[in-house]
């Protein structure tokens, strides 16, 4: 067996003790018998204990780093909190509540000497009636949505939290992750591969950017857009019949949910009563791809067509309509109330369908185009 010098022995021991390298990796690299290696380690530790000297391993170093970061966080919390750990419990709970979402919950509770169970019970019990809590969450949700959209759905909780902190919004990654889960926002880094693999098998595109049809109720397209005014955010779901570019249904909701798109589709269906064979084209958002939505579409005997993942041109008619709605109405008006906002959207869609000439329709309105079709078919 090869003889190792003291320097070589120490170098190998350091790989295990200081760098945290696994024994199997060291055995494979050096060819040292296991028994020899462990005898060296045993002798080394005995010598360290005899002299009272102790090396810090890489793992222990990182543990110490984490402890320091945690202590620094607790110190910052104590400087920010509106009371001390010696204050009455009720006062500490309200102080902790104001820090909730800005710092890690564990650190808040440790800093103010509150059990986490007591704190969570307090938050859950009071959040329905706590306007500050609701306002704080709504502000964060709006900002998260904006950053998520600006990143083309790439950023996850860690990156969004970092961007918000850089903008002066003190929020924990934990809070951002929880709110993103509630909002149904997922980084495409987590879903892109699966969506790509599922594309040909599950989500068929029957439209393929062919947006001209020969009659009404052949193809409907739909999408949801986001609009914020003041500190309130709303989602607008709309459906357009491709034949005359007529907006045949829309609804406004406070969440981008399956219920929003399902109710919009059912209303349009009841208003139009299309013949079997209708194609309903959408993107692959979770609201359109849910089991509930799939069951609804099948029950109406509709064929569901999907845009390809991350190809907005596959649903460019809806993209164009929402852009027009925002430029011609939403971005130009300051709304006094939610009712004012909803009425304005309703009035604009009536204007869009009945009075606004459409270049694609030879500058006829959608209403005129459908009336022409009806007259031609009456004559036949």
Binned at pLDDT 50, 70 and 90, residue 69 comes out as confident
The interaxial angle of helices 157-166 and 173-183, nearest 10 deg, is 120
Taking only the tens place, the pLDDT of each residue in 5-33 is 888 888 888 777 766 777 887 887 788 88
Binned at pLDDT 50, 70 and 90, residue 273 comes out as very high
How far apart, in whole angstroms, are the C-alpha atoms of residue 326 and residue 333? 10
3-state secondary structure of 374: helix
Whether 81 and 174 share a structural domain: no
pLDDT of residue 47: 77
Q: Is 198 domain-assigned?
A: no
2 pLDDT above the threshold of 80: no
How far apart, in whole angstroms, are the C-alpha atoms of residue 45 and residue 54? 9
Distances (CA, A) of 270 to 37, 39, 324: 78, 82, 27
Q: Is 193 domain-assigned?
A: no
Q: Is 356 domain-assigned?
A: yes
Q: Is 194 domain-assigned?
A: no
53 pLDDT above the threshold of 60: no
Quick one: which of 246, 236, 212 has its CA closest to 326?
236
Whether 150 and 32 share a structural domain: no
Whether 75 and 115 share a structural domain: yes
Domain boundary among 186, 219, 254: 186
Whether 82 and 160 share a structural domain: no
Q: Is 201 domain-assigned?
A: no
CB contact set of 93 (below 8 Å; sequence gap of 6+): 114, 118, 119, 122
CB contact set of 37 (below 8 Å; sequence gap of 6+): 12, 23, 26, 27
Domain count for the chain, please give it.
4
Cα 203–chain centre separation: 21
Whether 279 and 150 share a structural domain: no
202 pLDDT above the threshold of 80: no
Burial per residue of 7-30, b for 16 or more beta-carbon CB atoms within 10 angstroms, e otherwise: eebeebbebbbeeeeeeeebeeeb
Domain boundary among 80, 107, 126: 126
pLDDT of residue 153: 81
365 pLDDT above the threshold of 90: yes
First vs last C-alpha separation in the chain = 101
Whether 72 and 162 share a structural domain: no
How far apart, in whole angstroms, are the C-alpha atoms of residue 237 and residue 224? 4
Output 156 or 97, whichever has higher pLDDT.
Answer: 156
Q: Is 195 domain-assigned?
A: no
Burial per residue of 268-298, b for 16 or more beta-carbon CB atoms within 10 angstroms, e otherwise: bbeebebeeebbbbbbbbebbbbeebeebbe
Whether 292 and 321 share a structural domain: yes
Whether 359 and 243 share a structural domain: yes
Whether 298 and 211 share a structural domain: yes
Lowest mean per-residue pLDDT among 195-204, 224-233, 235-244, 309-318: 195-204
Per DSSP, what are the bridge partners of residue 238? 223, 250
Q: Is 191 domain-assigned?
A: no
Lowest mean per-residue pLDDT among 35-39, 169-173, 198-202: 198-202
Range of the domain at 374: 206-379
Residue 254 sits in a domain of what CATH number?
Answer: 3.30.420.10
Whether 174 and 317 share a structural domain: no
Whether 47 and 70 share a structural domain: no
For 44, the token pair is: 């080394």
Whether 318 and 295 share a structural domain: yes
Taking only the tens place, the pLDDT of each residue in 100-136 is 767 777 888 888 898 877 877 776 666 555 556 667 7
Q: Is 196 domain-assigned?
A: no
For 219, the token pair is: 């193809």
């Amino acid at each position: 067996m090869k003889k190792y010098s003291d320097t070589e022995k120490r170098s190998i021991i350091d790989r295990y003790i200081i760098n945290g390298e696994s024994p199997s990796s060291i055995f494979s690299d050096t060819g040292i018998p296991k028994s020899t290696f462990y005898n060296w380690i045993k002798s080394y530790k005995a010598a360290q204990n005899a002299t009272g000297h102790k090396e810090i391993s890489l793992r222990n170093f990182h543990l110490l780093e984490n402890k320091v970061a945690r202590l620094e966080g607790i110190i910052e919390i104590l400087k920010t909190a509106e009371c001390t750990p010696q204050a009455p419990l009720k006062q500490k709970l309200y102080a902790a509540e104001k820090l909730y979402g800005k710092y890690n919950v564990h650190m808040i509770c440790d800093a103010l000497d509150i059990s986490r169970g007591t704190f969570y019970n307090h938050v859950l019990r009071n959040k329905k009636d706590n306007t500050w809590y609701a306002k704080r969450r709504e502000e964060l949700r709006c900002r998260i949505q904006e950053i998520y959209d600006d990143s083309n759905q790439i950023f996850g909780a860690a990156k969004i939290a970092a961007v918000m902190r850089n903008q002066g919004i003190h929020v924990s990654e934990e809070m951002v992750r929880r709110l993103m889960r509630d909002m149904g926002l997922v980084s495409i880094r987590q879903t892109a591969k699966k969506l790509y693999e599922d594309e040909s098998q599950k989500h068929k595109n029957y439209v393929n950017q062919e947006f001209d049809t020969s009659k009404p109720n052949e193809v409907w397209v739909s999408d949801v857009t986001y609009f914020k005014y003041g500190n309130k955010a709303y989602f607008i779901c709309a459906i357009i019949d491709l034949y005359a570019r007529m907006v045949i249904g829309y609804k406004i909701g406070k969440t981008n949910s399956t219920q929003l798109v399902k109710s919009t589709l059912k209303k349009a269906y009841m208003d139009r009563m299309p013949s079997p064979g209708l194609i309903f084209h959408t993107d692959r958002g979770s609201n359109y791809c849910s089991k509930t939505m799939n069951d609804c579409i099948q029950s109406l005997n509709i064929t569901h067509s999907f845009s390809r993942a991350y190809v907005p041109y596959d649903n460019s008619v809806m993209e164009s309509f929402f852009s027009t709605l925002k430029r011609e109405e939403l971005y130009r008006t300051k709304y006094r109330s939610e009712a004012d906002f909803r009425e304005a959207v309703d009035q604009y869609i009536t204007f869009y369908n009945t009075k606004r000439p459409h270049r694609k329709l030879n500058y006829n309105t959608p209403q005129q185009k459908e009336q022409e079709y009806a007259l031609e078919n009456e004559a036949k």
